[in-house]
Structure 1
Amino acid sequence: MHASTEAVTQCETLLRTMMEDLQARCIWPNVRIIIAGMLKRRIELAEVYDEVHAALASPPRALYVFWDAFVHAADGWNPEKNRAARQAREELVGINSRISELADQMAALLDRRDDLHNYSGFNSGTRYHILDIVHHASEHNYHYESYVKDELERLQYQFDLKYWPALSEVVQAIGADAESAEISANDPATAAATESRKSGRSDFVKAFLARVDDNKVREYGVIPNSFTLSDSALASLVNCGLALEFDELVDADFIKRFRQRQRQSKKA
């Protein structure tokens, strides 16, 4: 099968326009590198251009949205960034756990300090009202000083200390919040790319397909709901998007196995 000249021309023109626009705005340098690499691999992508153009040339902006989703997925979900994302998730778990532990310790220290202030005959002159702490923390915040502080001060003078949480209670609430935190991805691509235990090239495939799905008509996008890529087209996109070397290239069988695993995981 030979790709049509129209399909190749339109897709490459669109990619060049995207690259020039990004360059003019001095943004997304890695995406520009990815596009430049794709433009050098016309032979590998020609039939992909044909397949994508045939399906997406008619719906307004669908072709642009598809390629935009692809190049940004290739930038955001390459193997190095996949590993970094998993590390960030694990770090976030550890940080919340540490915050919870330290909050317990700090709350106990604050309670003990209050006891010493009240019964030892000594006082360290530290702030004890939560709003005093808020005022102090916000003293360089122009918006707080201009629009919020006066209102809070009126409330502070109107209601005595028994109406406000103790500092130790505030710290305990911060700790409880961290302890009960559930880590979740901020978008479908992140969730899809990091769902497996180990990182691999399949992460990029998951992220890219999630971005495509997120731009389909059922999600208020422009890509037709029925749109899907063939195994060979998706394999070529993986090879070019990740700039894989000859001994790293994936083929249609790789995508076929990937899709089989995805179907099986959904049934489980």
Structure 2
Amino acid sequence: MKRSADNSVRGQCEDILRGELSYNLEHKILASENTITNRLLMRSQELQRAYAELEDKLGNDSRALTTFLRTLLSSAAFWCPEKNAEARKDRKRLEDVNEEIASLASRLANLLDERSVLHNHTGFSCGEVYDLCSATEAATKDHHMFQSYPRTEFRQLFAQYDGKYWPSLSQVVRAVGQDAASTEIYATDPLTEAGTAGPRASQADFFRAWFASIEENSMRYSGFLPQGFRLSDESMATLADCALDNDPDKPTGAEYIKRLRQRAREAQKGLES
């Protein structure tokens, strides 16, 4: 990587960004982050005050500077309003899928019960899958790991305890449906939780995810950013405008960030009370 002749933190930040870009291009990864990096480099003049504040807060700590810039790149790449709209569609789709599973599982369980009655009370029968053991055997006939290891013990266990000790197929299916009907959809990581907390996709999602990413990368969680690290509202707004390619004539503004932070504090107090 060719280093900048500028020895300021601005030069150091831009060297870090160029290094990230060079690595990603070489390894053909993170195209979305590369787009954000190019935006920051192209709008460098707008970021002078933000970089100056980074110097005040982090000095020339390259690990902390790299960590901070990476939080910006990843948040802007994966938690921009467009991506947040997609995340909400994914959550809605998961809700719909669960509803469909619950409905189909109930119908299938009822049909399995009816088939058992017909098998037991008529002169007819069909199929080889009739209980948990036969279903497992059928499902794992091409499962190499199962066939190589637990199959023998599995068969011995079923031979040791007859059918009354095991749930029926309909009970298993019904349990799957009941779980789908009652399950609560939740985010599996703090960034997803923060980025989809609002009622609809907006720029606020990006900032919530970015704040969460900064916290996750603090020394409190074995990261490199000082605990309690915080840039001014103005610097955060400027960095976001450049990363998200917002119109320079319509800046986000420090007041917007101030309101977001105030709402976050109020929400936290509500959770703690």
- For residue 186 of structure 2, the aligned residue among 162, 184, 187 is 184
- For residue 62 of structure 1, the aligned residue among 61, 64, 77 is 64
* Preserved CA contact (<8 Å) 2:9 2:60: no
Q: CA RMSD in A?
A: 1.7
* Preserved CA contact (<8 Å) 1:189 1:207: yes
- For residue 53 of structure 1, the aligned residue among 52, 55, 61 is 55
Q: Distance in 1 between matches of 2:125 and 2:22?
A: 66
- For residue 169 of structure 1, the aligned residue among 147, 158, 171 is 171
Which residue does 2:229 correspond to in 1? 227
Q: Distance in 2 between matches of 1:249 and 1:182?
A: 38
Q: Distance in 2 between matches of 1:146 and 1:186?
A: 33
- For residue 91 of structure 1, the aligned residue among 76, 93, 104 is 93
SS at 1:61 equivalent: helix
Q: Which deviations, in whole Å up to 9, do the C-alpha atoms of 1:132-163 show, x marking residues without a partner?
A: 21222222222122122222122122222222
* Preserved CA contact (<8 Å) 2:241 2:248: no
Paired residue total = 265
Instruction: Give unmatched runs, 5+ long, in structure 1.
Output: none
Q: Distance in 1 between matches of 2:34 and 2:21?
A: 5
- For residue 133 of structure 1, the aligned residue among 125, 132, 135 is 135
Structure 1 stretch displaced more, 43-52 or 105-114:
43-52
Q: Which deviations, in whole Å up to 9, do the C-alpha atoms of 1:9-63 show, x marking residues without a partner?
A: 1100011111111111111111111101111111111221222233234557221
Q: Distance in 2 between matches of 1:60 and 1:156?
A: 61
Paired amino acid for 1:62 = A
Shift of 1:249: 2.7
- For residue 27 of structure 1, the aligned residue among 20, 29, 35 is 29
Paired amino acid for 1:162 = K
Q: Distance in 2 between matches of 1:119 and 1:144?
A: 35
Which residue does 1:107 correspond to in 2? 109
Which residue does 1:79 correspond to in 2? 81
SS at 2:107 equivalent: helix
Q: Distance in 2 between matches of 1:143 and 1:201?
A: 47
Q: Distance in 1 between matches of 2:243 and 2:181?
A: 39
Instruction: Give unmatched runs, 5+ long, in structure 2.
Output: 1-5
Shift of 1:267: 3.8
Which residue does 2:3 correspond to in 1? none
Structure 1 stretch displaced more, 164-173 or 42-51:
42-51
C-alpha spacing 1:246/1:54, structure 2 compared with 1 (3 Å): closer
Paired amino acid for 1:187 = D
C-alpha spacing 1:58/1:6, structure 2 compared with 1 (3 Å): closer
Q: Distance in 2 between matches of 1:182 and 1:59?
A: 42
Which residue does 1:241 correspond to in 2? 243
* Preserved CA contact (<8 Å) 2:68 2:214: yes
Q: Which deviations, in whole Å up to 9, do the C-alpha atoms of 1:84-111 show, x marking residues without a partner?
A: 1111112212211221121111111000
SS at 2:8 equivalent: helix
Which residue does 1:209 correspond to in 2? 211
* Preserved CA contact (<8 Å) 2:14 2:41: yes
SS at 2:149 equivalent: helix
Identity %: 37
Which residue does 1:266 correspond to in 2? 268
Which residue does 2:13 correspond to in 1? 11
* Preserved CA contact (<8 Å) 1:11 1:53: no
